[in-house]
Amino acid sequence: MKTMIDQNVLDKANVWLNGDYDEETKQAVRDMMENNPQELTEAFYRDLEFGTGGLRGIMGAGSNRMNKYTVGMATQGFSNYLKMNFPEKEQISVVIACDSRNNSRYFSEVAANIFSANGIKVYLFDDLRPTPELSFAIRHLKCQGGIMITASHNPKEYNGYKAYWEDGGQLISPHDKNVITEVSKIGNIDDVEFSGNPALIESIGKEVDNVYLKKVKALSLSPEVIKRRKDFSIVYTPLHGTGIKLVPDSLTNFGFQNVHIVEEQAVPDGNFPTVKSPNPEEPAALKLAIEKAKAIGADLVMATDPDGDRVGIAVRSGNDFVLLNGNQAASLLINYLLTKWSENGKLTGNEFIVKTIVTSELLFDLAEKYDVQHFDVLTGFKYIADIIKRFEGEKTFIGGGEESYGYLVGDFVRDKDAVISCSMIAETAAWAADQGIGMYEMLKELYVEFGFYKEKLVSIVRKGKAGAEEINKIMDDFRTHPPKTLGGSKVVRIKDYQTGIDHDLVTNSKKTIDLPKSNVLQFFTENGSKVSVRPSGTEPKIKFYFGIKGQLRKKEDFDKINAVLEAQIEDIICELKLK
């Protein structure tokens, strides 16, 4: 039986067939119409939109795909918006960088041509570069915006487009919505200026690298420790991505002389041939690095994602390695920063840290120990950047992080930064070693002092149009029928960031949440557990974040308490029917 195709999908596909699109694109649309109506629906049922990470999608023909035309319309809309916002600026300028993904360089050149055709000066990196260097370069070159062509850690068929404002942070409200409005005004691709002006495109590279790396080096808090521990053994893998450009150089600048690269993964390659997924959150991505670390007796393993903004780490525990999650790595890093700032006499009472609402509360415990201000923001590092911008010139940002393996130290970058993070995590590990202790043991000590924070993330993938509808239904069901208990403990508080209401179920009182509206729900129980639910802004997933807290009286009880807390989380997962 012939599959019926939605009329809206057919209408959009016919626009592409009859418009001024290249023949290869038209042929791809014809093939879908004739042979794969389901794929046609997925390619045209909507337009790509900016989420928490910008534009992201599967590469191919269609309005819901990453291609020359969707990149072109996004860039034209962004160009129009920049010109609206900076009418007095004699020369508006932007920076463009890209990662190692297939078509990334091509998309970056398409965007460069469109910006320049609109009279906007373009600084185009000469080769792939990490996302954080793009953020840095915007401020360094005093530009009004920038874009990074990347799909972060998504599978190889994806690519994406992260848009940045003049502060070096990704677009947030109102700019993100306004850019979408400008893009939607572009009726067809005839409105896109594809023919570039080479006179307005300038290649940049090593000169920006050098300034950036010098600033990263200045973040070091324990140079004397690294001198003593210069032979501290580290294995690093860029997972075929941009990290190879700067991470090894930065570690060398810090003084580490015993850094080993996973050579099989050192070559940039958009097919990511040695991993199923280039995601440092996944244990399989670190497999080769851990094998190398065991073979040479290293103490620390670090892996960065394709665009070099997130890092996953594994630390030695006896003869084996333990993968730390993003909450644990962030806790160790923030503990080190706060301890050294205190020891070095740098705390004046005017400093702060930031985390996201789904990240471990242990970070706030650490801040309170040192009487340092702390802020919660929505998921997405752009909101951390916004807090830094808000307090610029008034307060000093020490560091921040999110559970999804993104961290930042210092304020000269306005996005998560794996180059900085690798350097500072290595310094943290060397500092621990200088005290005769490993990172894993140091984490246990934090749990003894502050309580054992146990977190887990469960992601449910639902692809395509039907998947998006199912995810919306799951969120609706949680709103209309919230759980009364979780893990046997009564739900006493619900935060709905979409309605902006914080509801105390014990007193039945309600107050307003002082954050932007977002499709996130949080449930808090009587025994201190926290469950957060949110659709991903960049992937076809709905994410469940579980956080519980127990007591660890001595390090020797770690395994026992860990098993108890793990069982409690599993109970909640079963109760929510996620398995």
CATH number at residue 508: 3.30.310
User: What is the residue-averaged pLDDT of the chain?
Assistant: 95
- Residue 344 · residue 221 · CB < 8 Å: yes
- Token reading at 277: 């997924």
Q: How many domains does the chain have?
A: 3
**Structure-token pair, residue 496:** 């709905």
The answer to whether residues 245 and 321 belong to one domain is: yes
In a domain, 390, yes or no: yes
Residues 76 and 201 in one domain: yes
Report d(CA 224, CA 485) in Å as an integer. Answer: 52
* Same-domain status, 334 and 369: yes
> Is the domain of 508 the same as that of 401?
no
Tokens linked to 513:
């949440």
End of a domain among 172, 205, 238? 205
pLDDT value at position 49? 75
Reading the block at residue 164, the tokens are 């940045």
Both 474 and 359 in one domain: the answer is no
Annotation marks residue 404 as catalytic:
no
CA atoms of 311 and 406, how far apart (whole Å): 7
Residues 162, 176: Cα–Cα separation, whole Å: 11
Catalytic residue among 63, 79, 152, 423: 152
The verdict on residue 33 lying in a domain is: no
Do 373 and 513 belong to one domain?
no
CATH assignment of the domain containing 298: 3.40.120.10
More reliable by pLDDT, 539 or 397 = 397
Interatomic CA distance for residues 435 and 437, integer angstroms: 6
Does residue 376 sit in the same domain as residue 474?
no
Instruction: Give residue-wise pLDDT tens across range 174-193.
Output: 998 888 889 889 878 999 99
Before 174, cis peptide (omega within 30)? Answer: yes
Which residues constitute the domain of residue 169? 66-205
Other C-beta atoms closer than 10 Å to the C-beta of 465 total 15
Let me know if residue 104 belongs to a domain.
Answer: yes
Alpha-carbon distance of 111 to 122, in angstroms, equals: 9
197-226 pLDDT, tens digit per residue, is 999 999 999 999 999 999 999 999 999 999
Whole-number pLDDT of residue 173 = 86
1 vs 154, higher pLDDT: 154
Q: In the predicted model, what is the mean pLDDT of residues 365-369?
A: 98
The answer as to whether 446 is a domain residue is yes
CB atoms closer than 10 angstroms to residue 188: 14
Count of beta carbons in the 10 Å neighbourhood of residue 253: 15
Q: Which of 409, 426, 450 is the last residue of a domain?
A: 450
Are residue 446 and residue 457 in the same domain, yes or no? Answer: no
Question: Looking at 410, 427, 450, which one is the last position of a domain?
Answer: 450
pLDDT of the residue at 1: 40
> Is residue 555 assigned to a domain?
yes
Provide the pLDDT confidence category of residue 486 given band limits of 50, 70 and 90: very high
* Phi, then psi, of 343 in degrees rounded to 5: -65, -35
pLDDT digits (tens, 9 = 90+) for 270-285: 999 999 999 999 999 9
SS3 content of the chain, % helix, strand, coil (to 5): 40, 25, 35
Assigned domain for 61 exists: no
Q: Which of 305, 299, 275, 272 is nearest to 287 (CA)?
A: 275
Q: Are residues 443 and 560 in the same domain?
A: no
Measured CA to CA, the distance from residue 168 to residue 145 in angstroms comes to 7
End-to-end CA distance of the chain: 35
Q: Per the domain annotation, does 225 fall within a domain?
A: no
Beta-carbon-side half-sphere exposure of residue 547 (alpha carbons within 13 Å): 22
Q: Distance between CA 338 and CA 398 in Å, rounded?
A: 8
- Strand-pair partners of 427: none
Based on the fold, state whether residues 290 and 432 are members of the same structural domain.
yes
Given a cut of 70, whether residue 130 has pLDDT beyond it is yes
Return the number of other C-beta atoms located less than 10 Å from residue 3's C-beta.
Answer: 9
Residue 96: which H helix or E strand, with range?
strand 93-98
Read off the pLDDT of residues 386-420 as tens digits, 9 standing for 90 and up. 999 999 999 999 999 999 999 999 999 999 999 99
For residue 575, the SS3 value is helix
Same domain, 380 and 460: no
Enumerate residues 6+ apart whose C-beta is below 8 A from 565: 452, 454, 548, 550
- What does the pLDDT read at residue 2? 54
CB 19, CB 188: distance < 8 Å: yes
How buried is 15 (Cβ within 10 angstroms: 0-12 exposed, 13-18 middle, 19+ buried)? middle
Entry field: residues in the chain = 579
Decide if 77 is inside a domain.
Answer: yes
C-alpha to C-alpha distance for 201 and 42, rounded to whole angstroms: 35
Query: Of 264, 226, 290, 242, which is closest to residue 125 (Cα–Cα)?
Result: 242
Report which of 256, 251, 263, 266 is spatially closest to residue 233, judged by C-alpha positions: 256
pLDDT given at position 47: 83
Spell out a b/e string for 104-124, using b for 16 or more CB atoms within 10 Å of the CB, else e.
Answer: bbebbbbbbbbbbbbebbbbb
Residue 139, phi-psi category: left (phi > 0), alpha (psi -120 to 50), beta (remainder): alpha
Q: Are residues 397 and 469 in the same domain?
A: no
